[in-house]
Structure 1
Amino acid sequence: MSARRLLVSIHDVGPGFSDQVDRLADRLEGLLGGPRFAMLVVPDHWGVNPLEPNAAYRAKLREWADRGVEMFVHGWFHKDLSQHEGLANFKAKHMTAGEGEFLGLSHDEALRRMRDGKALVEDTIGREAAGFIAPAWLYGDGARAALSEVGFRLAEDHFRVWRPADDAVLAKGPVITWASRSSMRTASSLFFAGLARTGLQPLNTVRIAVHPGDTTKQSILRDIDRTVGAFARRRPVGRYADLDANAAN
């Protein structure tokens, strides 16, 4: 039988959200008993917050990595500048607010950004990146084709974690996350999290993701506390790397 585990991550990590990420990291350390979470690093968020020249923030990321925080590459710009049609257009409009960077990229452009991101993050933390997670968990055909060529150990979308080398699915089930950009989206995310605290307990692997914007609403922060606590009391906090040696669950 596959092990039960809780995986928690902080998205959109970079110098532009330094204060918000600090607040989330401190909160999660208290809830989880230490830095037992992953961070998703954006190399240059929206083209205005580059990681490469920021020596102080790079040192901070390396310190977190030295303490055991798993570091994923989270796109390059995060911003989506592509034109979409059909299903991709629906996803771009309704599943994110212009953040699905890898939804419309060609194979060659996705490959270039993945390789550049991997090189920068690994140079920053002094070790292999844990994997790649596309902004807004959205992948187009070009991104999916490029993933297996870069050498990332793991990838993740809304409903699964998989190994790009052979497409083996390592975990299944929806990510629990929150939306802060409108009152309606916040309400629906709080509603889903409430259902998930009971409904997702049977899953072996439960994933929770938090974002810098969550720090802007006390209702979300309180719900993060409730949700992380509800799962952490019933299962050990794990690492994404643990999945690579286990079957789909």
Structure 2
Amino acid sequence: MDKLLLASIHDVGPRFESEVDRLVDLLGGVLGEGRFAMLVVPDHWGLAPLGEAAAFRARLRGWADQGVEMFVHGWFHKDMADHSGLTSFKARHMTAGEGEFLGLSQDEAARRMADGRALIEDAIGRASAGFIAPAWLYGPGALAALAASDFPLAEDHMKVWDPRSGAVLARGPVVTWASRSVPRQLSSLAVAALARTAFHGLSVARIAVHPGDTTVPALVDSIGRTFASFARRRPAARYADLRR
């Protein structure tokens, strides 16, 4: 398989419409129209219900018509579960209270997956590309629900896989940025700079951006340079290409 670039915009929904627009312009300018995925949140933190945002649902359909792959990205994107042990560490240190599917039971995870899928597929008028948990974090219940679903693709920090068969379709870390504190910003800038020199050997390079990235000029600059570095060496592909 030729080397590929997979790009994604996370946390897409009416709460972050202006930030998403900026990211669409940024990625589209480097990769071409529709050459990225969107991870759509049905109701971000219970503050932005997609079901009540007809205009934004129409925009999602327009992007899908341009070729953008649409993933179901949780339901609330907010973690409201109690955790202990290693799960508690992940909840505290790997995300800012956004690992929604880290502590859900299988039944509850399955319900939110199904409800999110129905809402998003109705908006875009076609099948969703797959399911990706908020913050890329999956607890046992979420993994069991995902394995029992018929989503064709899923992704975490280190891989893309087919939940139906368990087959791993791509391996390697996601390049992403963190905006919520200066230390995290500096760390993500350093990782992105390393990726621009050290990650070109990966068969599949994955780069993900978030609405909050647009609030920090240094991150926006790093995102542009990182996408340009990879786009010079490999085509921007679709996640569905991994299944061919």
**Aligned-residue offset at 1:151:** 1.0
Q: Which residue of 1 aligns with 2:217?
A: 218
1:64 paired residue number: 63
Matched, 1:46 2:45: yes
Q: 1:116-155 alignment to 2 at 5 Å? A: 116-155=115-154
Q: 1:53 deviation in Å?
A: 1.6
Measure the CA separation in 2 of the matches of 1:238 and 1:35: 10
Instruction: Tell me how far 1:150 sits from its aligned partner.
Output: 2.1
- Tell me, what secondary structure is at the counterpart of 1:167? coil
Deviations 1:73-108 (A, max 9, x none): 000000000011111100000000000000000000
Could you list the per-position Cα deviations for residues 204-240 of structure 1 after superposition, in whole angstroms to 9, with x for gaps in the alignment?
A: 1000000000000000000001100000000011000
Count of residues in Structure 1 that have an aligned counterpart in Structure 2: 244
Partner of 1:110: 109
| Shift in Å, 1:199 | 1.1
For 2:21 and 2:78, locate their aligned partners in 1 and report how far apart those are by CA, in whole Å.
22
**Are positions 1:235 and 2:238 aligned together?**
no
Q: For the residues of structure 1 that align with 2:170 and 2:123, how far apart are their CA atoms?
A: 28
After TM superposition, which residue ranges in structure 1, 4 or more long, deviate above 2 angstroms?
none
The RMSD of aligned alpha carbons is 0.6
* Structure 1 residue 34, shift from structure 2 partner: 1.8
Q: CA deviation at 1:48?
A: 1.1
Give, in whole Å, the separation in 1 of the partners of 2:151 and 2:232.
31
The percentage of counterpart residues that share the same residue type is 66
**Structure 1 segments unaligned to the other structure (5+ residues):** none
Q: Structure 2 CA distance, aligned partners of 1:223 and 1:161?
A: 24
Letter in 2 for 1:234: R
Alignment of 1:183-202 (within 5 A): 183-202=182-201
Aligned to 1:161, the other structure's residue is in SS state strand
Mean Cα displacement is larger for which, 29-38 or 176-185? 29-38
TM-score, with length taken from structure 2: 0.99
For 1:61 and 1:40, the matched residues in 2 are separated by 11
State TM-score, norm by structure 1: 0.97
- The C-alpha deviation readout for 1:86-140, integer Å capped at 9, x for no partner, is 1110000000000000000000000000000111111110000000000000000
Paired AA for residue 5 in structure 2: L
Gaps in structure 2 of 5+ consecutive residues: none
Q: Separation in 1 of the partners of 2:243 and 2:163? A: 11
Name the counterpart of 2:164: 165
Q: Equivalents in 2 of 1:123, 1:30: separation in Å? A: 29
Per the alignment, in what secondary structure is the counterpart of residue 144 of structure 1?
Answer: helix
Which AA in structure 2 matches 1:240?
Y
Partner of 1:14: 13
Q: Deviations over 1:49-68 (max 9, x none)?
A: 00012110000000000010
Residue 198 of structure 1, CA deviation = 1.4
CA deviation map 1:4-23 (0-9, x unaligned)? 10000000000000000001
Task: State the alpha-carbon separation in 2 of the partners of residues 167 and 22 from structure 1.
Answer: 34
Matched residues in 1 for 2:212 and 2:139: separation? 25
| 3-state SS of paired residue (1:23) | helix
Equivalent residue for 2:87? 88
In 1, the alpha carbon distance for the partners of 2:32 and 2:139 equals: 37
Give the Cα separation in 2 of the matches to 1:237 and 1:222.
19
